[in-house]
Every structure is written in structure tokens, then in C-alpha cells.
Amino acid sequence: MGTLTAPSLTPERLTDLLAGAELLSRTRDLREIYRHAAEVAMRFLQGSYGLLFSVRFTSADLCVGLLGLCVSDGAETSWDDSCDNQSWLPVDPLIAECLHGDFGHGIRAEGDRWRLVFAVGALGQARWVLEIHSPHQPTSADCQALSLFLRCFENQHQAWEYANLDTLTRLLNRKTFDDDFERLIAAAELAEKANLMPRERRLPDHQISQPCWLGVVDIDHFKRINDNFGHLFGDEVLLRIADLMRLSFRNQDKLFRFGGEEFVVMLRNVGEDDVLGIFDRFRQAVEDHDFPRVGQVRCSVGFARIDPRISPAELLGRADEALYYSKDHGRNQVNGFDELVMRGQLRLTIPAGQAEIQSDIDEIFL
């Protein structure tokens, strides 16, 4: 068949794998956890490319969603996680065998290459699948060693979830908000700088970036739901709201349970003409959903554009002001801070120092 013989499992290869596991244990960012696990596995098996999938078990079918693609030219390995992880695909026989089999991995020759599939997680309940294509036929020792490394990946992912996810809804928790908010503000600043750059000075990979946004969602009359139906059904409403958020927003959007019945959404690269429709689509999805026992539930939303010149506290305050306007003017609606200011329905507060400067400018030009 012309395929190459895999290099023996030398102490040096095991040492490299252990070093990868040690580095993985110190990785805190989720995307970096995915990237590092895939790249270490690719180097260990000398793969040409690899795919990392999340797994969804349903009563009707078994599906996978692509988390990232890893490609190697022999010298360097690159990782691309620009996929949305929302395009669920049916599994082929090799992946199905891997997920339901006794060993947690499968091997198949395809032309002059070997296709290797590893399930990550408990057999029959795996949460990820790593697929690697390599010109080398792996040994059983290779597969066992890599399976142990992937347990380290699973453990690190569980540690990340424990530290960063809300235990009920599995959305990001309040503790993670500050760091992500700083990154969102930094992204907004980069987008502004890129868009101000003269066209002739832009590199080919420079693209016009759209603004970033912060949205705050609050379930209308949630206390009434808890009082009338009990906290068990109140928790079910929170779970369903979280599911609707995951369906309504993109995989790269950041979704938080901020506390109680309040949620926060961070959006990147969304045009000003589109942001209201995006939030309203979610609001409508909530209104149209049939919640168990409770029936119809509604929510109010306020959002604000991220201006990197404004403090994080003030940016959050603007989104909150827009939310309170929605709740005070009938609920079950979406409002943006800038639009409310333009219509004269909210007043733009200028910090004291800026207010003095603005007063001086007014005296000169008015």
C-alpha cells in the first residue's frame, strides 16, 4: 500500500508527549486548550491534518460539530478554529464505531494514508472526537499513549468548566466577565484603528471590521414565575433561556449568566444596521417558545456599542440604562443606548473632566 512505518515509541517521543500534557495542564483559555491538544496529538502521530469535533448524543441520532482544524506541513503546525460549531453533521461508520466501541479509538487505511479516530470521554458518552490523518500506521502503543494524553485534555477541560461556567445554565459565569470584557474593548479599539487606516496603507489581510456590542437580557416578571410555579420550574426557564441563547447567537459570541435572571451577551464584528435585529430575533425566540408548565415567557433587552474611550463600568451602565428603559416602557422589547440618546429618551452623561472641556468648546464656537 506504500504507507510508512510509524517511528517506534522511544523515550524521546514519550517525553515530548508528557511535556505537552504538562503544558496543557497550565493552559487556561478554552480555545488554547483545544488548539494545544490537537497540535500535540498531530506532532506525536506525525499527522498531515486533524479535526477536533464536539459530540452530541440525541435520542434520534448521533452528530458531531467541528471545533477546529489542524494542518501540518512537516515543519510547522497551524490551527484554525473559525468554524461555528453549530453545523451538526452525521457521523460516518468509523466515528460511530469509535464512539460505541470497547477501545475508544478506530483506525482505517485510506489510500496511502491512515485515518485515526479517538473518542475523548467515557465510552458511550464521549464529548469529543479527535480525527488525525497520517502517512504512518500507528502502533497499539502509540494509540494507548495518545489516549492517556487525551485524558489530560478531558481533565483540563473539566477544570476549565468548573472555573468558568455557571453550574445551572452552563453559560459563562460572572467571574469570567471582566477578562472577556477587557478583550472585547481591545477588539473594538483594534477595529477602530483598522477602519481609520488609509486604504492604500492597508495590507491584503486587513479587512473593515464592524463594531463590538454589549447586550443585557432580563427575564420579565421572573419572580412571579418562581412564586406561581416554584423554583424548580424557574430553573427550567433559565435552562431554556440559555439554550435559546446558544441557538440565537453565534458560537464566537460570549454568553454569560450574570446573576439571577439576568444574562449578558458580547458581540464582535456586527454592523450597526444588524445589531438590533440580532437581539430582537432572540427576544422573539423567547416569546415564541413554549416553556414547560409556565407557558409563555418574555424578556427585555438593552445594548450599547463598545467605545474603547469609555470605562468598562460606564459601558456596562449604558447597556443597563437601555435595559431599564425597555422594562419601564412595556417590557418584551429591545432598545439600544445610542438610539435612545438620539431620540432624546435617554441623556448622555459626560464625565466631569470632559464636561469642562466641552463647556470651553461651546463658549468658543457658539
Q: Which residues are part of the catalytic machinery? A: 261
Q: What is the CA radius of gyration of the chain?
A: 25
Write the single-letter amino acid at 293: R
Which grid coordinates belong to 135? 502517512
* Burial readout 317-351 (b: 16 or more C-beta within 10 A, e: otherwise): ebbbbbbbbbbeeeebbbbbbbebbeeeebeeeee
Distance between CA atoms of residues 257 and 262, nearest Å:
6
Distance between CA atoms of residues 59 and 46, nearest Å:
37
The contacts of residue 20 (CB under 8 Å, 6+ apart) are 36, 40, 43, 44, 149
Distance between CA atoms of residues 22 and 20, nearest Å:
5
Q: Of 297, 294, 293, 288, which is closest to residue 331 (Cα–Cα)?
A: 297
- 140 to 7, 303, 332, 363: CA distances (angstroms): 12, 54, 59, 81
Write the single-letter amino acid at 145: A
- Residue appearing with cell numbers 492604500: 200
Q: Are strands 262-267 and 213-219 parallel, antiparallel or unpaired?
A: antiparallel
Distance between CA atoms of residues 120 and 104, nearest Å:
8
Which secondary-structure segment (H or E) carries 247? helix 231-248
DSSP helix/strand/coil, 305: strand
